[in-house]
Chains A and B, each alone.
Chain A
Amino acid sequence: MFTITALVILVVMALALVRAFKGPTLYDRILAVNNFGTKTVLLVAVMGFLYGRPEFLDIAIVYVLINFISVIGILRFFEYAGKKNAEEEA
């Protein structure tokens, strides 16, 4: 059961990756990365149960926090960098 869930999450991560590569705007990419991050949290938690090692949950917590911080950081950065850079990136 955990295996199926983990596989589905992997598929969703792949979908998010497709969106991250396709763009078309910078914000689509950030959204995809953020989504990818939240899926990683789920995957880590499910894997913890799959292997029967609940210490994995600590890693999941770190992921939640770090994912949040990095998304905010990326947004801040592009806000600073201004519109011109954002368009070049996109």
Chain B
Amino acid sequence: MLGGIYSLLSASFFIDLDAVDVAFTEASVGAGISTLLMLASLKLVNRYERKTRYKPLLALGVITITGALLIYGTLDMPHFGDPNAPAQQHVVPRYLNESMAEIGVPNVVTSVLASYRGYDTLGETLVIFTAGLGVMSLLLVSSRTKKESKNLVPADMRQQIILRVVAKMMIPLILIFALYVQFHGDYGPGGGFQAGVIFAAGVILYTMLFGLGVSQRAFHPEVIILLTAFGVLMYAGVGVACMLLGGNFLDYNVLRHDPIHGQHLGILLVELGVGITVAAVMITIFYKFTWRTVKHKYHQ
């Protein structure tokens, strides 16, 4: 919970530094989802803690060395806000000054993220996808452990009239807002990551209030797992399409006759892919956690 406060605070700092997009991400990811997931995992860990089977010293050693290397690496980094820093001299001026002409998207962050740094963002999307896979496989393996827990019941909505009515009004608005953020990433703060998280948050709210069973009837888990892969494939597919059309991987200029239109289309598709993956992974993870906490009711 203090983590939640922390991320609200840090979002304020980012706003102070004028990094709207980062603040946006922090707002949606940090303040809401991470708190919830942390609580959920805390709960699981609490109940299922066992003796460690691996050698902790080895891991400690690896972590120490990695940490030391990272710190050593930062020694060479320029001071914060140093105008002579390579980051300020090399590509940034080009990004800032020419992105409007080259890509035609008013929000610089989006053009950097999805176009100039297309590879990086593809990598990030893959990381999220892998994280989702990791969580799925982890929870799948340990789901063989049988433990009794009686204190977990699905939501009983007859007891929660007020919450039910208000949630019914809010959920459609949350979902449409997520899509709005998705498609306005070019103009304002936002984009695939944030939209995915907000969308997932709407679904998570629905699941929390109406119960896992109802929620899975509306959003089939199999479909959502497929969607996680679909988002990544869509991103990579755009890249491959660029290659087929004679450009480099993720070189959107060739998608249309006019490079600016090509860039625009490419960015839109890529962002959509990111959004789909993020939302689907989040929902899957939440389903898995919730399933872990209520499944005894269904097995018995």
A-side residues, CB < 8 A to B, are 17, 20, 29-30, 33, 36-37, 40, 43-44, 47, 51, 53, 55-56, 58-59, 61-63, 65-70, 72-74, 76-77, 80-82
Q: CB < 8 Å: which of A62, A74, A76, A81 contacts B27?
A: A62
Contact (Cβ within 8 A) A72 B205: yes
Whether B15 contacts A68 by the Cβ 8 Å rule is no
Complex-state Cα separation, A55 to B110, whole angstroms: 15
Binding site for A on B (CB under 8 A): 1-2, 4-5, 8, 11-12, 15-16, 18, 20, 23-24, 27-28, 31-32, 35-36, 39-40, 43, 151-153, 155, 163, 170, 174, 177, 181, 188-190, 194, 198, 201-202, 204-205, 208-209, 293
Give B153's nearest chain A residue, CB to CB.
Answer: A80
A-B contacts, 10 listed (Cβ < 8 Å): A43-B12, A59-B15, A62-B28, A62-B177, A67-B32, A70-B4, A73-B36, A74-B35, A80-B153, A82-B151
Q: Binding site of B, secondary structure by majority: helix, strand, loop or mixed?
A: helix
Closest to B23 in A: A59
Contacts of B205 in A (CB 8 A): 69, 72-73
Q: Are B24 and A33 in contact (CB under 8 A)?
A: no
Cβ contact of A70, chosen from B15, B20, B36, B189, cutoff 8 A? B36
Task: Write out the residue numbers on chain B whose beta carbons fall within 8 Å of the beta carbon of A82.
Answer: 151
Residues of A within 8 A of B20 (CB): 53, 55-56, 59
Contact between chains at A66 and B32 (CB < 8 Å): yes
Contact, CB under 8 Å: B170 / A80: no
In the complex, which residue of chain B has the Cβ closest to the Cβ of A37? B8
Known: A69-B32, A73-B39, A74-B1. A58 touches B190 (CB 8 A): yes
Q: Which one of A51, A56, A58 has the greatest number of beta carbons of chain B within 10 Å? A: A58
The number of inter-chain residue pairs (CB within 8 angstroms) is 108
CA distance A42 to B20 in the complex (A): 16
The chain A residue with its CB closest to the CB of B36 is A73
Residues of B close to A37: CB separation below 8 A:
4, 8, 31
Q: Are B174 and A65 in contact (CB under 8 A)?
A: yes
Selected contact of B35 from candidates A55, A68, A73, A76, CB within 8 Å: A73
- CB-CB under 8 A from A20, the residues of chain B are 1-2, 5
Please state if B5 and A17 are interface contacts (CB–CB under 8 Å): yes
Q: Are A33 and B15 in contact (CB under 8 A)?
A: no
In the assembled complex, the Cα of A47 lies from the Cα of B15 at a distance in Å of: 8
Give the distance to chain A from B166, nearest Cβ to Cβ, in Å. 9
From the candidates A33, A40, A61, A73, name the one contacting B177 in the complex (CB within 8 A): A61
Interfacial chain A residues near B152, Cβ < 8 Å:
80
- With A65-B174, A74-B39 already in contact, the answer to whether A58 and B151 are too (CB < 8 A) is no
Give chain B nearest CB distance to A48 CB in angstroms. Answer: 8
Give CA–CA (A43, B48) in the complex, Å. Answer: 41
Closest to B194 in A: A62
Chain B residues with CB under 8 Å of A33's CB are: 1, 4-5
Is the beta-carbon distance between A59 and B43 smaller than 8 angstroms? no
A-B complex: 3 closest residue pairs judged by Cβ atoms: A66-B32, A82-B151, A70-B32
B209 close to A63 (CB less than 8 A): no
Residues of B within 8 Å of A55, CB to CB, are 20, 188-189
A76-B208 in contact given A44-B12, A62-B24 (Cβ < 8 Å): yes
Specify which chain A residues have a CB less than 8 angstroms from the CB of B153 in the assembled complex.
Answer: 80
Indicate if the CB atoms of B209 and A69 lie closer than 8 Å.
no
Give B8's nearest chain A residue, CB to CB: A40
Q: Which residues of A contact B18 (CB under 8 A)?
A: 51
Please name all residues of chain B whose beta carbon is closer than 8 Å to the beta carbon of A56 when the two chains form the complex.
15, 20
